[in-house]
Structures are given as structure tokens and as C-alpha cells.
Amino acid sequence: MGRIITCSTKYFTLCLGAALLAFIMGMAPAARAEEPIGLVKTSSGDVRIERGGQKLAAASGAKLYQSDQVLTGADGAAGMTFIDNSRLSLGANSVLALERFRFNTTTYEGEFVSSVKKGTLAAVSGKIAKQTPEAMQVRTPSAILGVRGTKFIVSVGN
């Protein structure tokens, strides 16, 4: 960083291109490498997203990424929609980890793995589960649920 590039007029275009590339490369670590996998559609009460060790407010419209955790407090509830059209609803005092998500918008192939660590989750599966039913899983501390249908509810005690 802090390099000074000197160029003759003969090589100005080449130097300008190199400087632009160096600038873009220097900004690359600040950009998020992954795309959002969904968003918070509805949020009421205490709802947070834990991402990279930070807890963020999960207002309606907040983007969700693979590896996020969604947490609700005693008065919290959240509705989420994902890019494959899966819909999840979290009840009060819940923790949901979005462990793995990939989705091909052309073939509808993908994988959706989440974990309910505590609380309640209601789900309506989307295109991933319709294309390949075993590709959507919900894990709990004592079980792994392979989604075969379209609607289900999971409840995990403390």
C-alpha cells in the first residue's frame, strides 16, 4: 500500500490499467464473497442475526447469509424467505443456524441444511426439496430430519 507508480506517456494506458487493477485488488477483501441466501420477511420483538461474532438487529428486509444464526428473545418471532422459495418461521426463545445453502436457479438443485438449537420452527419447503427431497435437512440436538413433505414443525426444548 502507498506505492507511487510513475509512467511515461508511451505506457500510460498500461500503467493506468495496472493501477486500476491494484486498486480493485486492494478493495477485494472488504467485499462480501457470498450472495445472500434469503431475507427476514417479518420480524417482531427481539430478533437478532449473529454473523461473524457480531449480533445485528434483524429487521424486516435484513439479508441472510450461509453461516448466519437467527436468534429470537422471549417476545421475538421471525419469518424468513429464501431464494429457493423456502419459508421458515421462528418462534420465541429460538436459535436457528443456517449451516449450508446452495441453489441453482436453473436446475433447482441444491442443498439446505439448518439446525434448530432451541425453540420452535415452522417450515414450508421450497424448490430445493421439491427437486431433491433429501437435500433439505433440519438438525436438532437429538435428530436429523430429512424433509420429504412440504410443511413441518420442529420444537426443541431447553
Q: What is the pLDDT of residues 28-63, one digit of tens each?
A: 333 345 899 999 999 999 999 999 999 999 999 999
Domain positions in the chain are 1-31, 38-156
- Which cell goes with 106? 436453473
97-106 pLDDT, tens digit per residue, is 999 999 999 9
Q: Put residue 108 in one of left, alpha, beta given phi > 0 → left and psi -120 to 50 → alpha.
A: left
Provide the 3-class DSSP secondary structure of residue 67.
coil
Q: Which burial class, exposed, middle or buried, applies to 157 when counting CB atoms under 10 A from its CB (0-12, 13-18, 19+)?
A: exposed
Side chain identity at 127, as an amino acid letter? K
